Amino acid sequence: MPVPSSELITLRRQLHENAELSHHESTTQTLLKDFLKNRSCESIIDLCDGKAFMAIFDSGKPGPHVVFRADLDALPILEKPGKDYGSKNEGVSHMCGHDGHMTIVSSLAGGWQDVLTHGKLGLLFQHAEELGEGAIEVMADEAFLDWKPDHIFGFHNIPGEDLGTVVVGDKVFASASTGLRISIEGQTSHAAHPEMAKTALKVIPKLLSLAETLEQSYPSESFFLATPVQVRIGEENFGITPGDGRLSFTLRAFDEELLNKNMEQLLESCEELCREYGLSYKHELIEPFPSTGIDEVMTQVVAEATEELRSLTLQRRSYPYYWSEDFGHYTKKIKGSYFGLGIGKDKPSLHDPHYDFDDKALEIYPELLSLILKKVLEE
């Protein structure tokens, strides 16, 4: 029997109240496990040393193993007051809608016996999506791999698209990205003699200029974006020519190979410039995300399920979204798809402190997941 939307709303708001940061989603897990155990969950597999888990539903008959994944973590954002179910953890909130994702996936625990005619269903609740770390850790966990998933599905809510709009992509749904931090070590001098300094001022402006020339506009297939997020050279001291500096970018592209190629060009240029001006440097990659590749057949399953439901409208997207998701770690190894669920044209954007997942979505999207599961089993 499907879970009533009123119970899903209650769960979603409980999850919202107990928002937790990446790698600390313990109360969130407890709420979900209690909900699932009350709905004939066959078993629960703890993953990644207890940071993630998968609820298992078994038809008792041979067939494909199908996974639906939701993300557990919230963001370090202080939400605007006004909700009677606002986050109890100050400065931590579900401003990306993961509370809604978890609830929609949990809805499959209701009436699964009517849909799962053969095979097994896994509801995967993954930690640390916001840091780009959870999926790669799950894919390294033997307990998950030993379950032998055949297909995997994930989704994200999309503010700005009408409620009831389902967005599917073509080959890639969301961009690859990484933070790149370049730390340059130099030598200061008296401000009266800047020529005696070995200063990052000689390098950083040239790297900013190179990054700008490498950029390619959206929605070109060769799209590449290098956003400077921090530029720091010295301190505000009027007697010192600065030595050290730091330059940090977020690099973004549809194509991981292109992203890596342009990043190497930036780093090679940095090395040449540092050698020329007597400086040294080191670099770090921060929160790298793969592109979110999607399987053509599994994406068509999502499209066909959408078109069968009168409450939904299908939208086919020609180019990936700018933003990134760690779901691509799964689809590199497992046939699957990732899609978007509209929650309203006028909704605040993701990561906005005014954002809130729309509970009306809990009335229409659970049926879509059930139909996707049914169609996969018919393949």
Binding-site annotation: residue ranges for Mn(2+): 96, 98, 130, 156, 351
Residue 187 phi/psi, 5° resolution?
Answer: -145, 130
Partners of residue 159 on adjacent β-strands: none
What number of residues does the chain have?
Answer: 379
Closest CA to 134 of 34, 21, 51, 200: 51
Position 127, amino acid: H
Residues 16, 17, 22, 27, CA torsion sign: negative
The C-alpha angle with vertex 159 and arms to 356 and 287, in degrees rounded to 5, equals: 85
Contact 335, 295 (CB under 8 A): yes
Torsion, CA 11, CA 12, CA 17, CA 21, rounded to 10 = 110
Residue 377: enclosing H or E segment and its boundaries?
Answer: helix 365-378
Q: Where are the beta strands (DSSP E) in 290-377?
A: 313-316, 335-342
